[in-house]
Amino acid sequence: MAGSKRHAQGTNTRLAHIGNNPRDYFGFVNPPVVHASTVLFPDAGTLVSRSQKYTYGTRGTPTTDALTDAVNELEGSAGTIVVPSGLAAVTVPLLSFLGAGDHLLVVDSVYGPTRRFADTMLKRLGVEVEYYDPRIGAGIASLLRKNTRVVFTESPGSNTFEVQDIPAIAAAAKSAGAVVMMDNTWATPLYFRPLDHGVDVSIHAATKYPAGHSDVLIGTVSANAATWPTLFAGFETLGTCSGPEDTYQMLRGLRTMGVRLERHRDSALAIAAWLETQKGVARVLHPGLSSHPDHALWKRDFGGSSGVFSVVLDGGGQKEAHAFLDALEIFGLGYSWGGFESLAVPVFLGDRTIAKGPYEGPLIRLQIGLEDVEDLKADLTLGLRAAGGA
């Protein structure tokens, strides 16, 4: 469908047509939602050799294929697995590649539950876990060991938005024989394509922008040709397949992700720049702002910014942060992001060992939804006033 020979198609054209071919299913625009465990075989020989396209529900269906074909096209990957949450998109590849005695390097500004998984389950299984400075760049060479099996990156970092020099980190890791994984949830493959920058395994909490409506939990993991067999073997062994309805909903979300992301991007940039000028704000942590210390690196590597960033209040502590949050009327207080509605949460940095500041005051993470920018600014003004700034 998307393979027109005439010219390279734009992002939104591709998003509208990648994945399933309507001609494969009577011309219906969308693929069928296949509910399946058992798949029947025509004879015993085919059954024991499993020599037909579909063999069991956990190993893929026409619905999962429609989605993984679409994601492979966006990521430039050899293969993609679809798992039941963004967190599973982190844990399944780590479990697929790591074993006892291996050394794992993880960026210190990693998503909190990824850290918990590394510090509890991976350590219990005999993996040595070490955290590195998100701004280490090529300096990661000094941390790489003979037994470093995986370097786990996430850029920009969760909540504090440090941008990593992914090409430099990937080059160093590769020459030491380590597999490079990246949690690319913030940018989506529309604004950063990890595999084009030396990453082996690209991870997405598709719960966020791809699903886009705060009602689906799903994750994708996409691998290059060298790492795909190991990733797929781990996925099959663990049995962590996504359900058919969620798989379908993510493909549905992809169709509009381009236009939604443009709106999230523009509104978030406008609000971030405005917040920088407001009394009561010490700093805004958004890599798309020229004031951000990693702005040049972000500009070099990324094609855009999404709708999540943090604001540092000018002094105060938990009391001021809670006053800010409790004064908001449009922004909801709740975890996750990537849906149509704006959200705010206080940021906890107590588990960090390196990327923890110092900051001038409490951090609040904002997800800018699809509402009107002027309404969101008015709401944030209520928050700043309540925190004592304006």
Ligand X SMILES: *Cc1c(COP(=O)(O)O)cnc(C)c1O
Q: Which residues bind ligand X (CB under 6 A)?
A: 85-87, 90, 111, 154, 158, 183, 185, 205, 207, 217, 219, 336
- The torsion angles phi and psi of 323, rounded to 5 degrees, stand at -60, -45
The torsion angles phi and psi of 26, rounded to 5 degrees, stand at: 60, 15
Rounded-to-integer distance, Cα 376 and Cα 330, Å:
7
We find the least distance from the C-beta atom of residue 46 to ligand X, in angstroms, to be: 37
- Closer CB to ligand X, 207 or 227, in the complex: 207
**Between 162 and 183, CB nearer to ligand X:** 183
Residue 154 C-beta: closest distance to ligand X, Å: 6
Asked whether the CA dihedral 304, 311, 337, 369 is positive or negative, the reply is negative
Q: How far is the CB of 169 from ligand X (least distance, A)?
A: 17
Between CA 153 and CA 355 the distance in angstroms is: 14
Cβ proximity to ligand X, 205 vs 376, nearer residue: 205
Please say which residue, 20 or 159, places its beta carbon nearer to ligand X: 159
For residues 20 and 158, which CB has a smaller minimum distance to ligand X in the complex? 158
Residue nearest to ligand X (CB): 86
Distance in Å, CB of 354 to ligand X, minimum: 18
Shortest CB 268 distance to ligand X, Å:
15
The least CB distance from residue 275 to ligand X, in Å, is: 21
For residues 1 and 16, what is the distance between their CA atoms, to the nearest angstrom?
A: 10
> Which tokens go with 108?
């210190």
Gap between the Cα atoms of 61 and 148, Å rounded: 36
CB-nearer residue toward ligand X: 74 or 144: 74
Q: Which is nearer to ligand X, 122 or 144 (CB)?
A: 122
Contact (CB, 8 A) for 223 and 200: yes
CB of 88 to ligand X, least distance (A): 7
